[in-house]
Every structure is written in structure tokens, then in C-alpha cells.
Amino acid sequence: MFLRIDIQEFLIILVCVSQNTLKPKLMNKKQSNHLSSYLAIAFVLTKYEGKVGLVPALEAAVTKFTTLLNELQEVRQIQEGRITGTALQKQKEEDEMIEATLCIAAGIYVFARERGDLELQQKVKISDSKLRKMGNSALLSRCTLIYNLAMELDSKALVPFGILPESLVGLKKEIDDFALLVGKPRSGIVARSAATQRLQQLFKEIGELLREEMDKLMLVLKGQEPAFYNEYKAARIIVDLRGPYEKEEAASDEE
């Protein structure tokens, strides 16, 4: 039910937030400070989990808080744009496509030279550095051109130059694989844009839940569980992790 955080994990997370290592690229300073407070609240709620059930309405509010905080953490990951895996895969496919293209182009170049076909020679005269300087669309077009030129030639005549039928099949696969990955980073940008909007909404919902429900219900436990109440109130204080001031969250929740 609760977002469980032990003391060591909590301190590590708090330090990371303060040093900006957990802050998404688009999450602003105010949101970062609020997130630190929410994590502190989650820690207190976990510590006093057995006391929360004394007030059923508070227990329900805490469950909602935990759900929203979990979603906030997930959306934060999306907003941060963690597409490293996709980027690495794209680079791998690009490298393989370029290598396959250069091999085919080199064979065709010598094939054309022996036949005195200067036009064909110029069409397949490419280098690794030039290909890598191209944008995705231009690179795909150039590699596809080399493939199409090879397909138009006599396959048997190309064999002595190291261009086998399976070589062309391999190049086509590399081209298709790269083309498939090219659009993914753009999709990631769209996803991050939506995540930014959802992140703002989540901060607003959590802030409202704290002000309108949890803060008030915690007052019910103030006399019965003073330690719990005091630690909760302390966690509710927003500390500017990059500045000297601090102020009550009740006056500064996301609106």
C-alpha cells in the first residue's frame, strides 16, 4: 500500500534531488523542491504505517497519495527522456548499415572501373566519414541508392567482387532496421511533451490532496500520536535545496 523507503534509500534520493541528478530536464526548481517534500512525507508515512489506520479516511487519503506519487515518479522518468537504450540500438543499426553499404559500394566501384563505367563509379563513390555526417533521411536515401544500383546489376557478375545474394539481403535488412528506429526518438519527444503536462497535473493533485485532506486529517491524530504528527509537519516544509530559505508547503503547493 505504501511507497516503502528505508532511511538509507531516502537519504540517497534526497541528496540526488538536491544535486539535481534526479531532476528531469524539464522539471523546474519548485517542482524539485516539492518532490523532495513528497519523498519525505512518504518516508514518514511508511515509518508510522500502523498508525495511519487509526483514521480510516486518512488511510484512504494516504493510499491515494501513494498512488499519485508512484505515478509522478514514473512520469518523471518519461519526461527525463530516458531513451538511452533506443539511442544505442539506433547507433548500432546505423553502424551496421553503413558497414554493409560500404562493402557493397566498394565491390560495385571496382566492378564499374573494370568496365570503364565512370558514371556508375561516381554514384557509388562514398566514404565512411561522409555517410556519418549525413542526417537520417539523407543517409537512408544514399544507402538505399547503393542497394538499388546493386539490384539492377547482374548478380552473377558481382560475385567475383565479393557481392553475394546474401550480402544484398543483409544490406536490405540493415536499411529496414535503421528506418524502423529513426522515428522512435521523435515519438519520445511527443511522449515527453505529454509527460510534462501530466507532471504538472500530478503536482497539483498531490498538493490539493495534502492541503484539503491529509493535513486536516492529521490534526485528528495530533493529540493521540504527537510524534507522528510532528514528523509529518516537518516533512511538509518545503526546503529550497538550492537556496537558503524554506517556507511552509501549505502556502506554496502547486496550484
pLDDT digits (tens, 9 = 90+) for 130-150: 999 998 889 999 999 999 999
CA atoms within 13 A on the CB side of 99: 9
| pLDDT band of 186, cuts 50, 70, 90 | low
Which residues, other chains included, contact 254 with Cβ-Cβ below 8 Å and sequence gap of 6+? 30, 31, 34, 200, 203, 204, 206, 207
Contact 32, 239 (CB under 8 A): no
Higher confidence at residue 243 or residue 59? 59
Given its phi and psi angles, is residue 190 left (phi above 0), alpha (psi -120 to 50 degrees) or beta? alpha
Higher confidence at residue 28 or residue 201? 201
Instruction: List the alpha helices (DSSP H) in 80-153.
Output: 84-114, 118-123, 128-133, 136-152
Quick check: 250 pLDDT over 80? no
pLDDT at 90: 80
- Determine whether 170 is exposed, middle or buried from the number of CB atoms within 10 Å of its CB (0-12, 13-18, 19+): middle
| pLDDT band of 196, cuts 50, 70, 90 | confident
Contact 44, 50 (CB under 8 A): no
Higher confidence at residue 244 or residue 205? 205
Which residues, other chains included, contact 199 with Cβ-Cβ below 8 Å and sequence gap of 6+? 24, 27, 31, 72, 75, 76, 79
| DSSP 8-state secondary structure symbol assigned to residue 237 | E
Query: Between 136-152 and 84-114, two packed helices, what is the crossing angle to 10 degrees?
Result: 40
pLDDT digits (tens, 9 = 90+) for 30-84: 888 999 999 999 999 999 999 999 999 999 999 999 999 998 988 887 777 654 4
Containing 239, the helix (H) or strand (E) segment is: strand 237-239
